[in-house]
């Protein structure tokens, strides 16, 4: 039987690439989204047409325990449970220090950390019962290094996600492998549209391979970590950044 993968924030950007990659590998896919309902529907159709697996979409704010409960209850009704959880949903409310406010900080932690915690807490029992599961958190190199001080809230949230990864890996051992992927600069549409050419050039000069990453490259790593070939990889923070260096 096909394994079931739930990807939070799966309708666009890196999440979308992950949904496509897992569907292509034969997973039934649940696309969680919050605002991108049209994109989620289109992706669902593409996945069903091209890969002939089951694909569901579900609108849910991962920071809401109640909504996450309802989402997983829905998934458990359609499938038995979630085999592979990809905690990908995140926000970045970076701003200059004098423009920051505590509400933005709280919201960033709520989505990026408590969101991953909420969904993990709701899916782990099924994984433990069947003695197999994968939780793959999408962190960031910003959770390891400070590249831009204005990203304070985002950086802190991704550092906390690293800590959550270690904690859950220990608690769920030996049956659920919990890892965190830390991407560097990945050229999603949203990421590229925000910057001018000069800035992009400067950023790419700090990457040893001389370019930004493709969302598909992150998706390939997710596919590998989800597979049995990766069964000896657990409790790790894995950078995928083309050899990024330097900070401002
Ligand atoms: P995007 O901003 O393009 O997408 C963010 C996703 O998160 C969207 O699908 C959005 O859903 C979803 N989301 C936001 N808030 C919520 C919420 N409360 N509940 C459910 N879903 C939510 O990001 P990227 O694709 O660029 O990034 C994906 C992941 O990779 C993130 O964790 C990001 O931090 C990380 N990353 C990205 C890098 C990059 O260079 N792009 C670099 C390092 C890490 P919707 O659209 O439906 O609202």
| Ligand 1 atom with minimal separation from the 111 CA | 18
Residue nearest atom 41 of ligand 1, based on CA coordinates: 186
Q: Within 10 Å of residue 240's Cβ, how many Cβ atoms?
A: 17
Q: 131, 219, 130: which is closest to 181 by C-alpha?
A: 219
Looking at residue 187, what is its pLDDT? 94
Question: Which residue ranges have their beta carbon within 6 Å of ligand 1?
Answer: 8-9, 11-15, 32-36, 61-63, 88-91, 111, 115, 138, 140, 183, 185-186, 188, 190-191
Distance, CA of 18 to CA of 21 (rounded, Å): 5
| Ligand 1 atom with minimal separation from the 40 CA | 47
Looking at residue 247, what is its pLDDT? 59
Please, how many CA atoms are within 13 Å of residue 140, restricted to the half-sphere of its CB? 26
What's the token pair of residue 31? Answer: 């696309």
Residues catalogued as catalytic? 154
Distance, CA of 138 to CA of 115 (rounded, Å): 12
Q: Coil, helix or strand for 111?
A: helix
CA–centroid distance, 179 to ligand 1, in Å, is 18
Looking at residue 139, what is its pLDDT? 98
CA–centroid distance, 91 to ligand 1, in Å, is 6
| Ligand 1 atom with minimal separation from the 63 CA | 18
Looking at residue 246, what is its pLDDT? 72
Looking at residue 179, what is its pLDDT? 99
Residue nearest atom 1 of ligand 1, based on CA coordinates: 13
Distance, CA of 35 to CA of 200 (rounded, Å): 27
CB of 31 within 8 A of CB of 43? Answer: yes
Burial bucket for residue 208 (CB in 10 Å: 0-12, 13-18, 19+) = exposed
Peptide bond into 11 cis (omega under 30): no
What's the token pair of residue 140? Answer: 């960031």
Residue nearest atom 21 of ligand 1, based on CA coordinates: 9
CA–centroid distance, 153 to ligand 1, in Å, is 15
Partners of 87 in the beta sheet? 137
Does the predicted TM-score (pTM) go above 0.95? yes
Residue numbers in the chain where pLDDT is lower than 70? 247-248
CA–centroid distance, 129 to ligand 1, in Å, is 30
CB of 178 within 8 A of CB of 238? Answer: no
Looking at residue 223, what is its pLDDT? 98
CA–centroid distance, 56 to ligand 1, in Å, is 19
């Amino acid at each position: 039987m096909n394994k079931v993968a739930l990807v939070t924030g799966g309708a666009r950007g890196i999440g979308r690439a992950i949904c496509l990659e897992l569907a292509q590998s034969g997973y039934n896919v649940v696309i969680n989204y919050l605002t991108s309902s049209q994109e989620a529907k289109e992706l669902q159709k593409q996945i069903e047409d091209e890969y002939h697996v089951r694909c569901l979409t579900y609108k849910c704010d991962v920071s809401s325990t109640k909504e996450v409960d309802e989402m997983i209850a829905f998934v458990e009704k359609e499938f038995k449970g979630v085999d592979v959880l990809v905690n990908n949903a995140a926000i970045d409310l970076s701003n200059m220090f004098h423009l920051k406010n505590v509400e933005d900080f709280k919201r960033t932690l709520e989505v990026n950390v408590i969101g991953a915690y909420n969904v993990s807490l709701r899916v782990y029992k099924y994984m433990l019962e069947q003695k197999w599961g994968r939780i793959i958190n999408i962190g960031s190199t910003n959770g390891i290094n400070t590249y831009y001080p204005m990203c304070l809230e985002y950086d802190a949230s991704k550092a906390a996600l690293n800590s959550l990864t270690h904690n859950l890996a220990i608690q769920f051992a030996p049956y659920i492998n919990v890892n965190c992927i830390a991407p560097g600069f990945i050229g999603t549409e949203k990421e590229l549209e925000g910057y001018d050419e000069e800035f992009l050039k400067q950023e790419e000069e700090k990457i040893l391979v001389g370019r930004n990453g493709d969302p598909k490259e992150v998706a390939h790593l997710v596919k590998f970590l989800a597979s049995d070939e990766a069964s000896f990889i657990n409790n790790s923070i894995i950078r995928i950044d083309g050899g990024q260096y330097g900070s401002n």
